[in-house]
Amino acid sequence: MRVATTEPDSPPLSDSPIAIREINQLRILNALRSQPGLSRAALVRQTGLGKATVSTIVAGFIARGLVREEGPEVQHAAGRRPTRLELNGEAFVVIGVELTGYECIAALIDLRGRPLRVLHRPMPESSPQSSVDTIVAAISHLMAGRDDAQLAGVGVGIPGVVDAQAQRVVLAQNIGWVDVPFARLLQDRISKRVSIINRTNADALGEYWHGSGQAADSMIYVSVGMGIGAGIIIGGKLHQGANGSAGEIGHVTVVPNGPRCACGNTGCLETLASTSAMVVRAKQRIKEGERSVLDTLTGGNLEIMTGSMITDAARQGDEVAVAVIQEAGNYLGVALANAINLLNPRLVVVDSEMRDPGDLFLESVRKAVNHRAFSLALAAVEVVPSRLEHLAAAIGASTLIIDQLFSSIDGLFDSAGHVDDAMHSALNAVFGDDSSDSLDSLQNRVGSS
Ligand SMILES: [Zn+2]
């Protein structure tokens, strides 16, 4: 069963009847999240719970509109037609946000990961305060005409290193943030559960749950733009590393004495395979005397060259543009072959901002991977393009909130051992009033122990 979560494994659980009921409810929700369409009988098999328990809990969920019955499963030989169960996508909604550094992408997302509304807001100013203002305005726009209680929380993808435990932005160099308690700043304004994550990790979670990554419990997501970053999922869990900096594939060395990188090293992948690297390389080749339509496309001023001009030129069959894209793809393939040997993933998802003709870039990546990766690891892996593209991070950030609702009861408690108010009200909306009693009892029990 696929369970992607950023939460640690659950601690041993109390055998209090209230806690057990809560856990059983979460197990059933989780099973239906991972495998929509299970019947009651399949839920019994999946969760190991008794028939009566499953029936009672499912009936409660259906009465509250959280789960609904769909058409019957495949006809059984005996003629029994068990009913398929699914989460009701709109039982509640979450909002996923991506801050890119120059834009805020916000999406209203249903329980099944489908975007219902999407907003793009330019962000000429990216201070923490103005970012909070922009997100708050986006939330009220997205929630217009909906009951506020339906909103379970807001997940935000940040262009920087995030301490997932402390929910602080450690460093976001290109927007100038150092040690910003961003989750708290936003939570203070909206009184809802807020969770933040590095935006490339959010991309990875989005693709894992709802994009190209479905069904692959080990996956590397790599994003190629002005920089290069990766998100790594191992055993269905996001791997963020010792201090949140896992996935910096842009700074693995590919050519030891290659170009100088902003990080101080030389020959980093980012200096050879990013969009900016392709622009640098194309300019070089033209200055060295190669003929290219890029000369015309830039009006003779090579300094204004962009990545999309290179793809335009490649579309016209321009040899310099084609060569530059293939070289970059080759370098990315070299780095990915190393990562594949190290991690043995089932899937590599590549998202490139270069919309090049005929998958030139991706094909060069695949060629290098096929050429260099260890045969056993190569046999297991598939290299595919991303499916969610610019919405991956917003959708992925929203899965943090759903994870917190569905993963484990320790997600219900904040670090002080108290039930989080925002989570409490979200659960109230979902489980109904009697769960607030059980949550209060749980809180008292934890508080007094
Ligand atoms: Zn570097």
What pLDDT shows up at residue 294? Answer: 96
Q: How far is the CA of 227 from the centre of ligand 1 (A)?
A: 10
CA 355 remoteness from chain centre = 21
Q: How far is the CA of 263 from the centre of ligand 1 (A)?
A: 4
Q: For residue 10, what are its two tokens?
A: 């659950």
Last residue of a domain, one of 145, 173, 208: 208
Q: For residue 326, what are its two tokens?
A: 């293939």
- pLDDT 10s digits, 203-237: 999 999 999 987 688 999 999 998 999 999 999 88
What pLDDT shows up at residue 63? Answer: 85
Pair 230, 278 in one domain = yes
In a domain, 188, yes or no: yes
Q: Is residue 17 over pLDDT 80? A: no
Pair 186, 230 in one domain = no
63 with 97: CB under 8 angstroms? no
In a domain, 321, yes or no: yes
Pair 82, 122 in one domain = no
Least confident of 4-18, 86-100, 147-161, 209-223: 4-18
Q: How far is the CA of 239 from the centre of ligand 1 (A)?
A: 21
Taking a 5 Å cut-off on Cβ, the residues next to ion ligand 1 are: 251, 261, 263, 265, 268
Pair 146, 176 in one domain = yes
Read off the CATH number of the domain in which 200 is found.
3.30.420.40
Pair 371, 237 in one domain = yes
In a domain, 240, yes or no: yes
Q: Which helix (H) or strand (E) holds 307?
A: helix 307-315
Question: By C-alpha distance, which of 112, 162, 27, 36 is closest to 398?
Answer: 112
Pair 107, 142 in one domain = yes
The angle at the Cα of 246, spanning 244 to 249, to the nearest 5 degrees, equals 140
Q: How far is the CA of 309 from the centre of ligand 1 (A)?
A: 25
- pLDDT 10s digits, 44-62: 998 999 999 999 999 988 8
273 with 224: CB under 8 angstroms? yes
Q: Which residue has the tokens 């997100």?
A: 135
Residues 177, 93, 166, 186: is their CA dihedral positive or negative? positive
Q: Is residue 442 over pLDDT 60? A: no
Question: Which amino acid is residue 136, in one-letter code?
Answer: V
Q: How far is the CA of 353 from the centre of ligand 1 (A)?
A: 20
Other Cβ atoms closer than 10 A to 71: 8
Summary mean pLDDT of the chain: 86
Pair 70, 100 in one domain = no
Pair 236, 307 in one domain = yes
Q: How far is the CA of 271 from the centre of ligand 1 (A)?
A: 7
Residues comprising the chain, all counted: 449
Pair 242, 363 in one domain = yes
223/228 Cα distance (integer angstroms):
6
366 with 59: CB under 8 angstroms? no
Q: Which residues constitute the domain of residue 60?
A: 17-88+432-448
Pair 124, 30 in one domain = no
Domain total of the chain: 3
Pair 192, 99 in one domain = yes
- pLDDT 10s digits, 235-284: 988 999 888 889 999 999 999 999 999 999 999 999 999 999 999 999 99
Q: How far is the CA of 244 from the centre of ligand 1 (A)?
A: 17
Q: Is residue 337 over pLDDT 60? A: yes
3-state secondary structure string, 328-354?
Answer: HHHHHHHHHHHHHHHHCCCEEEEEECC
Question: Which amino acid is residue 344, in one-letter code?
Answer: N
